[in-house]
Amino acid sequence: MHLECLQLSISGKTALVELARPDQLNVLDEQALNELEFVLNHLLEQGVKAAILTGQGRAFAAGADVKAMAEMDERAARAFSLKGNQIFQRIEEHPAIFVAAVNGYALGGGLELALACDLRLASSKAVFGQPEINLGIIPGFGGTQRLPRLIGPTRAKEWILTGRRYNAQEALTAGLVLEVVEPEELLPKAQALAQELADKSGPILALAKRAINASTGLVDQNGQTEAGLFASCFTYHDGMEGLKAFVEKRKPQFQDR
Ligand code: COA
C-alpha cells in the first residue's frame, strides 16, 4: 500500500510511525485509518516489538475529520465510529508496545489515538482535549471508554463535558503522560524508551501487556455502545449545527434539540 497520510520507518525491532499531513494538522479521515490498519499489520509481520507514534508539524493529530463528518448521516457516523474504534482496539491488542510521542495538538480523535497507545510522552508544546462537545457531538474513537480508565471518571467527565484544552503539565498531573520534555528531546526520549522495550523478550512483553489490559479492559468491546451514541448526535439539530459551524468558521447556535 502506498502511504500518503503516514510515514513508517523500521529499525531493528523498533518502528517510527509518523502522521504525515502537517498542513491538515494530521486529521484522521477514512484514508488515514486505512493506512494505520495497514501499518499495524505490517508491524506484526515484521515482528516489531516497540513502535513510536508521533505527528509531523505542530499537531500530533487535531482529531477526526470534521469536514467529512459534517457531511455524514447517522448511519455513516456509526460506521466511521466503529471503524475508528476497531482499529484503535487493534493497537491495544497488538503484541507490540506503542509509545505515543505527543508533539503538539492531540485533540478529539487525535487524543483518542494517543489513549489507545500503551505509554505517552509529551512535548512541553503538547495540547490535549476532547473538544467534541463544542461541535455538538461526543468522542467516537474510544475516548468515552479509555479516558475514564486512564485519568478516572471525575476528570474524564470534566474533560469530555467541558471540551476544554489542557497543557502538557496538566496532562502529566492527570496521569495521562509519563513525562513532559522539551520539544527537541521528545523523539530521542521516545526512541530510547522504545529501544529499552525492544531489548526485552517480545512475546513476554506482549503477555505483560495483555495481562495489564485484562485488569482495565474496555467495557465497550468494539465500541458498539459508543458508536451508537456517537451516531445519535447526528440525528440532532445541534450535532449538525456544531459540525457545520466548524467548517464555516463560526460559533455554533445550539438549540437543545
Ligand atoms: N478536521 C478537519 N479539518 C481540520 C481539523 C479537523 N479536526 N482540525 C484542523 N483542521 C484544518 C482546519 O480547518 C484548517 O484547514 P483550512 O485552512 O482548509 O480551513 C487547517 O486544518 C489548519 O487549522 P487551523 O484551524 O487553521 O489552525 P489553528 O492553529 O488556527 O487552530 C486548532 C488549530 C487545532 C485549535 C483548530 O484547528 C481546531 O480547533 N481543530 C479542530 C479540533 C477538534 O475539534 N477536534 C475534534 C474533532 S472530533
79, three cell numbers = 460506521
Is 112 a known active-site residue?
yes
**Please, which residues have CB within 8 angstroms of residue 250's CB and are 6 or more apart in sequence?**
none
The domain covering 6-184 belongs, at the CATH homologous superfamily level, to 2-enoyl-CoA Hydratase; Chain A, domain 1 (3.90.226.10)
Is 30 a known active-site residue?
no
Question: Given the CA of residue 130, which atom of ligand 1 is nearest to it?
Answer: 46
Query: Side chain identity at 107, as an amino acid letter?
Result: L
**Please, which residues have CB within 8 angstroms of residue 203's CB and are 6 or more apart in sequence?**
95
207, three cell numbers = 503477555
121, three cell numbers = 510522552
Pocket of ligand 1 contains residue 109 by CB under 6 Å: yes
Encode pLDDT of 101-132 as tens digits: 999 999 999 999 999 999 999 999 999 999 99
Q: What is the pLDDT of residue 216?
A: 83
Pocket of ligand 1 contains residue 62 by CB under 6 Å: yes
10 band by pLDDT with thresholds 50, 70 and 90: very high
> For the chain, where are the E strands, in sequence order?
6-11, 14-19, 50-55, 59-61, 97-102, 105-107, 119-123, 127-129, 165-167, 179-181
| Span from the CA of 27 to the centroid of ligand 1 (angstroms) | 8
pTM over 0.95: yes
| Span from the CA of 21 to the centroid of ligand 1 (angstroms) | 12
| Span from the CA of 107 to the centroid of ligand 1 (angstroms) | 10
Mean pLDDT over each residue of the chain, to the nearest integer: 97
Encode pLDDT of 165-199 as tens digits: 999 999 999 999 999 999 999 999 999 999 999 99
Burial class (CB in 10 A: 0-12, 13-18, 19+), 184: exposed
